[in-house]
C-alpha cells in the first residue's frame, strides 16, 4: 500500500510528488440472469465518480478488438439501463431483462509525479477495492488492493523504476468484473480437438457465424459502415 511520497523520492526526472488526491468510484454492472453479456465478452456498467463517470458498454468488434460506447448518467432518468444500451445488446439478450449483477466500489489515492517544468510524468493510483456479486442471492463481499501506473510525459526508464519500487504491491492481473464473477464472466468459446466429432465442428462453426452476426447487429445500431443491412428483394 502506497502511504508516503517518500516512496517516489529519487526517481529519474521527478522533481515533485503531488498528492495523494482521494477519488471515490462506484461501478454497477448489468447483465441477464444467465449472464449472456458476460459470456459474449460484453461489459455493461454504470459508473459514478471519476473522470469517466457515466454509462459504459464494451462490445466485441472483431479481430479481438472491442468498441466502447459511453453516455452520460443523465441519459437514464430512473437509474435503469438507458434505452440506447438496451437496443445495442438486443441481439445478445433477446427479450431477457437486464438487472444488476455486481457492484464494485473503489477508494483511490492518486499520486502525481511532476518534473521541474511542471509537467506530469506519471500518475500512480493506489486502489482499495470492495466488490460484491448481486442477483438472486448476494455473494460475499470481496476486498483487495492494487496499484496502477499511467505514464503521461514520462519515459520507459521512469516506468521501469516505478515497477521496481512498487514490485511488492500487487498489480491488477484480471479485469475487476472477472475477479467478482469468476468463470461466469469468461466468454463461452468451445475448444476443438483433433478427435472432436463432426457435430462439435459444425456447432463451433455455427456459433462463430452467430457471433459475427451479433457483432454486425451492433455495428448497424451504431451506424458503422461494416454493419449488416437486411432488406427486401424486389422481383
Q: CB pairs under 8 A, 24+ apart, for 168-175?
A: 169/1, 169/2, 169/145, 170/144, 170/145, 170/146, 171/146, 171/147, 172/146, 172/148, 175/43
pLDDT of residue 99: 92
Longest dimension (CA), the chain: 77
| Number of other residues whose CB lies within 10 A of the CB of residue 27 | 21
Q: Are 2 and 111 in contact (CB under 8 A)?
A: yes
Tens of pLDDT, residues 117-134: 999 999 998 889 999 988
pLDDT of residue 184: 55
pLDDT of residue 138: 81
- Cα separation of 185 and 102, whole Å? 11
Give CA angle at 38 (179, 195), nearest 5°: 100
Residues of the chain with confidence (pLDDT) below 70? 1-4, 61-65, 76-79, 168-190, 192, 201-235
Among 206, 166, 185, 179, smallest CA distance to 58 is for 185
Among 121, 109, 110, smallest CA distance to 151 is for 121
pLDDT of residue 55: 93
Amino acid at each position: 500500500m502506497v502511504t508516503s511520497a517518500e516512496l517516489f523520492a529519487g526517481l529519474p526526472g521527478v522533481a515533485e510528488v503531488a498528492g495523494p488526491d482521494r477519488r471515490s468510484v462506484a461501478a454497477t454492472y448489468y447483465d441477464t440472469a444467465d449472464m449472456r453479456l458476460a459470456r459474449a465478452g460484453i461489459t455493461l456498467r454504470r459508473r459514478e465518480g471519476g473522470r469517466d463517470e457515466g454509462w459504459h458498454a464494451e462490445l466485441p468488434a472483431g479481430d479481438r478488438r472491442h468498441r466502447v460506447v459511453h453516455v452520460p448518467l443523465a441519459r437514464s432518468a430512473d437509474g435503469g439501463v438507458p434505452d440506447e444500451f438496451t437496443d445495442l445488446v438486443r441481439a445478445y439478450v433477446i427479450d431477457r431483462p437486464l438487472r444488476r449483477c455486481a457492484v464494485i466500489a473503489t477508494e483511490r489515492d492518486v499520486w502525481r509525479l511532476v518534473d521541474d517544468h511542471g509537467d506530469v510524468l506519471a500518475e500512480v493510483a493506489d486502489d482499495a477495492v470492495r466488490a460484491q456479486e448481486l442477483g438472486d442471492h448476494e455473494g460475499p463481499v470481496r476486498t483487495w488492493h492494487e496499484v496502477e501506473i499511467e505514464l503521461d510525459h514520462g519515459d520507459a526508464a521512469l516506468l521501469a523504476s516505478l515497477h521496481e519500487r512498487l514490485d511488492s504491491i500487487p498489480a491488477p492481473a484480471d479485469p475487476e468484473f472477472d475477479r467478482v464473477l469468476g468463470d461466469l464472466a469468461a466468454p463461452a468459446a468451445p475448444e476443438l480437438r483433433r478427435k472432436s466429432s463432426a457435430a462439435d465442428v459444425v456447432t463451433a462453426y455455427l456459433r462463430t457465424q452467430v457471433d459475427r452476426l451479433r457483432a454486425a447487429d451492433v455495428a448497424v445500431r451504431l451506424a458503422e459502415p461494416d454493419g449488416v443491412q437486411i432488406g427486401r428483394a424486389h422481383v
